[in-house]
Amino acid sequence: MLIAEDIRVEFGGIVAVDNAGFKLRPGEILAIIGPNGAGKTSLLNVVSGFYRPRKGRVLFEGHDITHTPPHERAKMGLARTFQHGELFRHMTVVENIMAGLEPWRRYSILDAAFWTPRARRWEEWARERAELVIDLLELHEYRYRIVEGLPPGVQKRVDLARALAQDPKVVLMDEPMAGLSREEKEDLARAIVEVNETRGVSFVLVEHDLEVVMDLCDHVVVMDSGRVIAEGPPHKVANDPRVIEAYVGG
Ligand SMILES: Nc1ncnc2c1ncn2[C@@H]1O[C@H](COP(=O)(O)OP(=O)(O)OP(=O)(O)O)[C@@H](O)[C@H]1O
Ligand SMILES: [Mg+2]
């Protein structure tokens, strides 16, 4: 479904990703784990189109999307959330979710200014889409609240809702559990599993919480210093000496 192949990312002299990649099968939840600075976010940014790799390619359902801009990837069914929840802090939950639908907007500034039928139709469609994911992620009570000041767990759910409103086939998530309480993690984990099972959405999660990884994921890719050092089913990877070495230094 999604393949990142021989990816290399450089920043000045630093090699952030060094010949790394992964293969995601349809319906799978895949985790990318590894110590700080391993290159996980950089690899994910290549897959979502925010970084251009020095080398390698990204294939989505057989199409080479290495040079496809992020909003075009979103339209193809590849959505993402962010490590540091890049929500519009002064907008409401609903507005944030609808903002994720911008790539589908079909009207001009003048349509909006004169509130033409074209603009109205988009607005109605986008609201409907937003309401569906508000239902799915149980965000009703926060619908018209400003995002700033909402609990971190709710903000993470809004970030996921924004991605899901795009009706994606694959969602890329960078550290969805970071900064969440135990209860918030359980809520978010349940939401991810539900979306995976009921809608068949596949996930690529960059995640530090190993308990979450072991519980949720079908396949784990372990990175260290830009490279993939191990991969496989969670229980196998957890007992791999190279993985233990990378995490606890032997
Ligand atoms: N925009 C950038 N400019 C320069 N160097 C960068 C940039 N982004 C990442 N790096 C460097 O690339 C390497 C990989 O960083 P990356 O953020 O991909 O790691 P990560 O695995 O996501 O780490 P973390 O677990 O801390 O989020 C690090 O050495 C980092 O300092
Ligand atoms: Mg990161």
Which two structure tokens, joined as six digits, stand for 106?
């079909």
- Cβ–ligand 1 contact at 16 (below 6 Å): yes
Residue 7 CA, ligand 1 centroid: distance in Å: 15
The answer on pLDDT for 91 being more than 80 is: yes
Residue 116 CA, ligand 2 centroid: distance in Å: 43
Report the alpha-carbon distance of residue 25 to residue 217 in Å, rounded: 12
Q: Whose CA is nearest to atom 24 of ligand 1?
A: 36
Residue 143 CA, ligand 1 centroid: distance in Å: 34
Instruction: Specify whether 173 is located in the same domain as 73.
Output: yes
Give the CA distances from residue 96 to residues 72, 84, 100, 105, 130, in Å, rounded to whole numbers and listed in that order.
19, 15, 7, 14, 9
Q: Edge-to-edge strands of the sheet including 63-64? A: 14-24, 2-11, 55-60, 63-64
Give the CA distances from residue 236 to residues 21, 71, 73, 223, in Å, rounded to whole numbers and listed in that order.
19, 36, 33, 15
Residue 21 CA, ligand 1 centroid: distance in Å: 16
Q: Using most ligand atoms within 8 A of CB, pick from 18, 41, 177 the residue to mutate for ligand 1.
A: 41
- Cβ–ligand 1 contact at 45 (below 6 Å): no
Report the alpha-carbon distance of residue 150 to residue 43 in Å, rounded: 30
pLDDT of amino acid 118: 85
Report the alpha-carbon distance of residue 132 to residue 75 in Å, rounded: 18
**Residue in this structure with the two tokens 């069914």, named with its chain if needed:** 77
Amino acid at 162: R
Beta strand ranges found along 25-139 (DSSP E): 29-33, 55-60, 63-64, 78-80
pLDDT of amino acid 85: 63
pLDDT of amino acid 244: 85
Torsion of CA 196, 202, 205, 209, to 10 degrees: 30
**Residues 6 or more apart in contact with residue 194 via CB below 8 angstroms:** 136
- Which residues have CB atoms below 5 A from the ion given as ligand 2? 41
- Cβ–ligand 1 contact at 37 (below 6 Å): yes
Which of residues 135, 167, 199 is at a domain's end?
167
- In this predicted model, what pLDDT tens digit does every residue of 14-67 receive, in sequence order? 999 999 999 999 999 999 999 999 999 999 999 999 999 999 999 999 999 999
Helix (H) or strand (E) holding 95: helix 93-99
Q: Is residue 213 part of a domain?
A: yes
Instruction: Specify whether 56 is located in the same domain as 176.
Output: yes
Domain interval for residue 235: 1-77+169-181+191-240
**Residue in this structure with the two tokens 């309480």, named with its chain if needed:** 181
Residue with the bigger pLDDT between 146 and 117: it is: 146
Instruction: Specify whether 97 is located in the same domain as 126.
Output: yes
Instruction: Specify whether 107 is located in the same domain as 131.
Output: yes
Instruction: Specify whether 27 is located in the same domain as 72.
Output: yes
Total domain count, the chain: 2
Backbone phi and psi for residue 55, each to the nearest 5 degrees, phi listed first? -150, 160
Give the CA distances from residue 217 to residues 50, 56, 80, 146, 163, in Å, rounded to whole numbers and listed in that order.
25, 25, 17, 33, 19
Residue 83 CA, ligand 1 centroid: distance in Å: 12
- In this predicted model, what pLDDT tens digit does every residue of 167-213 receive, in sequence order? 999 999 999 998 889 998 998 999 999 999 999 999 999 998 888 89
- Nearest ligand, CA of residue 221? 1
Residue 214 CA, ligand 1 centroid: distance in Å: 24
Q: Whose CA is nearest to atom 8 of ligand 1?
A: 42
CB atoms within 10 A of CB 151: 12
CB 165 within 8 A of CB 224: no
Instruction: Specify whether 99 is located in the same domain as 205.
Output: no
